[in-house]
Amino acid sequence: MVGADALRRCRSAAPRWLRPTEVQTVTLRSFGPVSRPVSDTEAVLIRIDGVDLPGLHCAPSPDRPGGYHHVHVGIQRRNRRDQLLGLTPGSATSASWTIECMPVPAGNGFDLKGPYIQGPAGARFIYLSWGTVDDAGNFELFRRAKLWLDGVPGEVIAAAVDCGLLVGRLGLTDRKGKPLCAAVRPPLIEWSAGPSPARSRS
């Protein structure tokens, strides 16, 4: 359980766009020392907030001269390409996914592990999978983005472990107007920490 002092510190440290009364992005610079011992870590929520989606259609490629249609995006479960969390149409104004992970002390930081986190220790990432959805609801993958967790500043991960929430905010359209793909690290994504709603209710 996080004490009242820790929750107040988390709320004050969180970027303004994480606070319910503000709609503004502020880059997180620094958090104070973590107050809870690493042996007392709790589950942490990771929320991915996507804006600027590319639409329902993607331009032709050598493999698909007719282009891609009814484009959707979701978070892939670890080692299961057919299991997607929060499948969202590319025409949506925004998309948001929340997954749970367990921070495991590792060296001077934490290794984040969970059912929607891919890769081995030291090379963890989250897959955003883009694909087409047919009339029967079948999803066909055609590209993915890797949200690399090694791009999260150490002090932000430490604050997220302390407060309970790690947030990644990014645009989902690349410079060519297509669905964002390949490796994604700052400045393409902005990582911040804030108070977890679940811990706030505890």
Half-sphere exposure of 119 (CA within 13 A, CB side): 14
Tell me whether residue 87 is in a domain.
yes
Tell me whether residue 171 is in a domain.
yes
Q: What is the pTM of this model?
A: 0.80
| Among 189, 166, 48, residue whose Cα is nearest residue 109 | 166
Predicted local confidence at residue 201, as pLDDT: 60
Half-sphere exposure of 31 (CA within 13 A, CB side): 30
Tell me whether residue 31 is in a domain.
no
Q: Are 190 and 168 in contact (CB under 8 A)?
A: yes
Predicted local confidence at residue 30, as pLDDT: 29
Number of domains in the chain: 1
Tell me whether residue 137 is in a domain.
yes
Predicted local confidence at residue 108, as pLDDT: 87
Tell me whether residue 34 is in a domain.
no
What is the full per-residue pLDDT of the chain (202 aa) written as tens digits? 444 555 455 555 455 444 433 322 222 222 333 334 444 568 999 999 999 999 999 988 888 888 999 999 999 999 999 899 999 999 999 999 999 999 999 988 999 999 999 999 999 999 999 999 999 999 999 999 999 999 999 999 999 999 999 999 999 999 999 999 999 999 999 999 999 887 766 5
Domain that holds residue 16: 4-23+42-200
